[in-house]
Chain A
Amino acid sequence: MQINKEKKIKEIDQEIEKLKELEKREKISLDDAINALMERKKSLLNKLDFWDRVFLARHPDRPYTLYYIENMFAEFTQFHGDRLFGDDLSMITGFAKLDGIDVCVVGHQKGRGTENKIERNFGMPHPEGYRKAARIFKLADKFNIPIITLIDTPGAYPGIEAEKRGQAVAIAENLKLMFKLDVPIIACIIGEGGSGGALGIAVADHIAMLENSVYSVISPEGCASIIWRDASYAREAASNLKITAKDLIELKVIDHIIKEPAGGAQNDPRLVYDTLKDHLKNIISELKDKENLKAQRIEKFRRLGIFK
């Protein structure tokens, strides 16, 4: 939701608190007033539009990949580096246990606080990030370990060094590679699904989105500055692009939506990782004995496209 909407809700919460204190202190009943405020809050929360969701997907307190890893899995063992150039800290890769099941986990990682944000490059990988992911995908495939990817990036980094080291090649090769893996791949967009940078680890047998995440071919700002030649048309661009979980399930681009608590994942992260964990367990058990996963994955993506 937008900042002013979030502020309003906080103010209502504070008011409710005050009224409750008053009730205790003065031993009177203020139920009517409190209920009225609750209703107002509810109606604000129910009216989340696509632009609120862009705000929530980028919310500074939104849980990031490592948070989910720490809370959903046991024995997480991180692997570093692409064995070609370096270790990209905006991409996390490793193995872990999901209630006893071995899984491979790959995800974008954003930072919190200026220093950490820069260290994680705002969740925007360089080619070595995608190549690290590729290396770990192959490792998982070799030892028959299902892959879970968590997507949260504004996009792959657009810079001189990234171009020199082949950003386009790195992403393209991941796309093809992911159609060659025999193990199940399950993807979940947990925040921002930014274009090719997201897709580079999001080719999967099953794709879920958190309710307030977004997934788009281009950021609303980028689209606005290209098409309208003015980034301030971002809202208009977002409305045209159709980037919410609800839009994407209608287009059959994703398979499932994970509910979030009122006002966004940051309000009750535990509820979100519990739901996501159950979902992942269900899908893994559904996919683990399926034959011909690779062919079905290709077929799933072949069907995507609308034309006449």
Chain B
Amino acid sequence: MSLLSVKDLHVSVDGKQILNGIDLEIGEGETHAVMGPNGSGKSTLSYVLSGREGYDVTQGEILFKGENVLDMEPHERAGAGIYLAFQYPVEIPGVSNLTFLKTAVNAVRAARGLDELDAINFLKFAREKGEILEMKDELLKRPVNVGFSGGEKKRNEIFQMAMLEPTLAILDETDSGLDIDALRIVSEGVNKLRASDRSMIVITHYQRLLDHIVPDFVHVLAKGKFVAQGGKELALELEKDGYAKFGIEDDADQAA
């Protein structure tokens, strides 16, 4: 049985159809890349999996560990093991990163039948995971994402992933806005978190990230449907020939 099973998924936002029949099977420990130009529906896929409001599933189903995800609140999905690394992490002034993380970690631990971590054990755990992402202690004390550089925000996303120990991590354009050093730290962090019991969906516009996080499968998304699927070599083809080969116009290619 797949860890995640998406069948014939149709999603609309404000009455506009964005996803037009997505099928996706993800097994345990697999890493899947979803590539596509802007506006193809990549972020919609990540939001509908994590339960954001305003995304109407008009057809199809999503099963996670055999359970109907669409019946679950966002926090229940997180507790069940789904994690979304945001393309644009949200700044929350007034809430320290540590308070936020402690609340989150203990919430998912409770959902998974584990005891809460006390202050000391939590700090130990945070330090340990922080090392993977080269997180400075100072970033832990600051308000969530406030005053973080673009790279620090993305690192914070992967740091949270390390803390929340998901079974399915969705990385939404984690590479966007990163310089080459930040990309290295983030992707090395992600690679350290790859495990036989952890699957990943890596959403990206560019092949660059996939040099660092090498996927098992690549799916090409256009106009809300997968138009090509294959192994990691598909990403290289895209890099060489561009999206045009799949009959897709990509305005970002011209911009780049």
- State whether these chains interact: no
A: which residues have CB within 8 A of B? none
